[in-house]
Amino acid sequence: MADESSTLEPSGAEKPDILDRVVAVASLPVYVVIAVVLIGCFFGAAHLVMLLWQGITNDTPAKYVIDVDELLSLFNSGLILVVGYELIKALAAIVRSHEIPVEKVMKIAMIALLNKAISMDYADNVQLKAATVGAMLLAVGAAYALFRKAGPSA
């Protein structure tokens, strides 16, 4: 009984542990990363709108028609923004719960790998690179499926 009263403050709340303070300080760089990614997403969205406008208002004979290469650039930029958005959500979940959201991290990895597969220039001799991206995507997909099948670990 005496031990309980020594660990409680006069208000009845527990004293914060030194490790809680260390974790709170260690989470500050994560907040900085979230802010940087958020700012990057806003500027990336502005760049995406600018690319779309430039593609539509080009001075070629086919005005108001977007070239396939420009469309690929638009899709690539859009997918990068999606990866940034998912990264912000995962980092926020890490800070809130003090755990790593494995499912969200796997989703981010799959989106990033799909982005790489879509934006890869297949005109160059990239068979090994494409096979590597495909193998990584299969591995992350299989791990994700096994993780989902196992259910939450509590």
Mapped onto helix, strand or coil, the DSSP state of residue 65 is coil
| Residue 54 forms part of a structural domain | yes
Give, for 55, the enclosing helix (H) or strand (E). helix 28-56
Residue 112 has pLDDT above 50, yes or no: yes
- Count of domains in the chain? 1
Q: Which amino acid is at 36?
A: V
pTM attached to this predicted model: 0.66
- Please indicate, yes or no, if residue 9 is contained in any of the structural domains: no
Instruction: Give the tens place of pLDDT for each residue, 50-109.
Output: 988 888 887 777 777 887 778 888 888 888 898 889 889 888 888 888 777 888 888 888
CB-CB contact of 108 with 80 (8 Å): no
For 25-58, what is each residue's pLDDT tens digit? 888 998 999 999 999 999 999 999 998 888 888 7
Q: Look at residue 84 and tell me if it is in a domain.
A: yes
Task: Return d(Cα 70, Cα 36) in angstroms, integer.
Answer: 27
Contact 120, 129 (CB under 8 A): yes
CA dihedral (80, 104, 120, 74) positive or negative: negative
Owning domain of residue 31: 15-150
31 in a structural domain: yes
Q: Encoding tokens for residue 7?
A: 């660990």
**C-alpha angle with apex 107: 101 to 108, nearest 5 degrees?**
90
